[in-house]
Amino acid sequence: MAITDNTNFEPKILAFCCNWCTYTGADLAGLNRMKYPDNIRIIRLPCSGRVNPQFILRAFQKGYDGVLVCGCHPGDCHYTSGNYFTRRRFLLMKRLLEFAGIERERFQARWISGSEAGKFRDTILKVTEEIRALGPNHRMKEADIYD
């Protein structure tokens, strides 16, 4: 495993955002000209319930240093119940990832509504800093495992 110097490390973070809440919240952050690190790449999905936990494994496998799943607050789902299933799936998946040895900060889930632009920015800031502190991910990463 390569040892990297973290000082100039810019993590790449992937976020799955639901169209109705978090993606809207991210748009609102833009509209309000809030500033946050450019490390985040967002994939827009109709609902956080669309996020298959296998996407998370795939993101780490391909090289992302952190993954974020965001959706509407419980009770606010555009499709009524999608995020309740999301919550169950990722409560379980998060523990499984930790059990597999992925550091807990690398995968996070958050509820961010369409009006919570500030929360969106703060989440990105916090997650980016946490992952920057951890350094690049080598675990379960394609490019770093050669046997």
CB 6 to another protein: min, Å:
16
- Which residue, 5 or 114, is less far from another protein as judged by CB? 114
CB 82 to another protein: min, Å:
5
- Which residue, 45 or 131, is less far from another protein as judged by CB? 45
- In DSSP terms, 95 is beta-bridged to none
- Which residue, 5 or 112, is less far from another protein as judged by CB? 112
Q: What angle do CA 143, 91, 37 make, to 5 degrees?
A: 55
Q: What is the dihedral of CA 83, 103, 116, 49, to 10 degrees?
A: -20
CB 5 to another protein: min, Å:
19
Q: How many CB atoms lie within 10 A of CB 66?
A: 26
